[in-house]
Structure 1
């Protein structure tokens, strides 16, 4: 995967990215909204990166790609994750030092047509906690339509969520 925008590069993980992945994962929003994607050590991040790299060749998800600035600074990731009902869900995280600059919207906008073509799908879901206003704004700016708001399973617990859908 190699998607380039004016400011970003979405590419594949390399083992040498473990430190930046570890550091980006430690911010409070990540701990609050996606605690299973927090890597307390560089070694944890390295193990996860090795698994994610293996997913590129197997074609099975999750398909997770780092988001880099044009100077190669790793600022987060974007992903397509298979769900239990044979559909796909988009996910993304921008490290706290890089938020509020439109990077998530830019990355999602560029990623959607490429990943949907690669997966041969015409729709993709977006699910977030109902109090994750930044994520909801990104989904809405990228053309996702809210389908549901209420209680639902999220990260293994019943939480107030919003479900969105993007159709090609």
Structure 2
């Protein structure tokens, strides 16, 4: 899995090293190797808020499979400063019908700056370039208008509703390849 670059961001594959350091430290730095060369990335205490509870299980799974990085899950960092501002990725494998669900979360200090829209757009472009992916889906808490705006700007359409114990009522979104 390689990094994805946008105008302002780099999406770095989530590595064992990132997870290990997050589990051991509230704040840390690491050097990420990218096709553009090494990038010094700073992770503050807000990074990976939603994923943090999954890290022990994910790390164990990655080690068992001999993976250095988790396919489809990325740390989002600013290209200019190396500040980690969020995470984004796929949820599981594509369905037999070619549907791939995505999820994303960004540090509150970086909300409202267009980073989520930029990162989701880059991930969706990568996904729809894969022949087996026909539709990209996402779910947003109905109380999270900002997350809904990200998907609206990227031409996702509302396709239904769901419910989640943590977030309550959800809106289901999809974007077809064509």
TM-score by length of 2: 0.69
- Paired position in structure 2 for 1:112: 124
- Paired position in structure 2 for 1:147: 159
Deviation at 1:116, TM superposition (A): 3.3
**Which one has the bigger helix percentage?**
1
Is structure 2 residue 5 aligned with structure 1 residue 10? Answer: no
Shift of the 49–8 alpha-carbon distance from structure 1 to 2, 3 Å rule, reads farther
Provide the C-alpha distance between the structure 2 equivalents of 1:52 and 1:139, rounded to a whole number of angstroms: 30
Deviation at 1:166, TM superposition (A): 0.8
- Paired position in structure 2 for 1:101: 113
Shift of the 139–52 alpha-carbon distance from structure 1 to 2, 3 Å rule, reads farther
**Which one has the bigger strand percentage?**
2
Provide the C-alpha distance between the structure 2 equivalents of 1:57 and 1:147, rounded to a whole number of angstroms: 35
For the residue of structure 2 that corresponds to 1:80, the secondary structure is strand
- Paired position in structure 2 for 1:122: 134
Name the larger-Rg structure. 2
For the residue of structure 2 that corresponds to 1:24, the secondary structure is coil
Computed over aligned residues only, the root mean square deviation of the Cα atoms, in angstroms, reads 3.3
Provide the C-alpha distance between the structure 1 equivalents of 2:66 and 2:145, rounded to a whole number of angstroms: 31
Is structure 2 residue 46 aligned with structure 1 residue 23? Answer: yes
